[in-house]
Amino acid sequence: MIRRRVLVSGFSLALAAAPAVADAAQKGDLLQTDNLGMNVYSHDFTSDTTKTVGDAQKLSEFVGMHYYVADSIRVGMNLQFTEQLASAPAGGKSRFQTFALLPQVGWNFFDPFFAALIFTLAPRTGGESKLDLGFQLLLGASLAISDRVRANVALEVPWNFYIHQTLGLTPLAGLSIRL
C-alpha cells in the first residue's frame, strides 16, 4: 500500500513539474485521443444502490478527435466502448455493455492540467439497446513524451439521468497525439 502511494505521489509530482511543450495546444491543432478507464464507484439515486469495482469490472475504451478552436480551448468527440470483464452480466445480457457518443468542450487551463465538460449520448447501456443520457466532468493532467505525444491521466465524474439518476467515479489513462 505504501509503495503504491509513493508511486502515485512520484507520478503526480512528475506531471506537476513537467515542462510545457514548446508548441502547446494552439488554435487549429487537431488532437487524437486514446484512453482506457474503469468505473470504480457509482451510486444509483433512483434505486438507492451503490456499486464498486468489486461488483463488476467494466473496461472502457475512449477514442476521439478534438479541434482547438482557440488557444487551449478544444471541441471534440469521443466514442466509448465498454466491455464487462468480470463478473458475468446478469440475465444473459451481452458483455458489450456500453456504446456512447461523447461530444465535449475542453480547456487546457494550466499546463499540464486540463478539464472538460462532456455530454453523454449512449444508445447502448447495460448490455442492451437502451438509450441513456448524461454529463461528465473531467479533470486531468498530461506529460509530454515527445513534441506531438502526451501521456494522460484523468478523473471523470459521470452523471447519467435518463434511465436512472447515477453518479460515478472513473479514473482514465491514455495518450493524446497532435496530428
**How confident is the model over 117-159, as pLDDT tens digits?**
999 999 999 899 999 999 999 999 999 999 999 999 999 999 9
> What CATH number does the domain containing 169 carry?
2.40.160.20
pTM (2 decimals)? 0.84
Q: Which domain holds residue 103?
A: 2-178
**How confident is the model over 78-115, as pLDDT tens digits?**
999 999 998 888 787 889 999 999 999 999 999 899 99
Tally of domains in the chain: 1
Q: Residue 65: exposed, middle, or buried by beta-carbon count in 10 A (0-12, 13-18, 19+)?
A: middle
Q: Say if residues 170 and 155 touch (Cβ distance below 8 Å).
A: yes
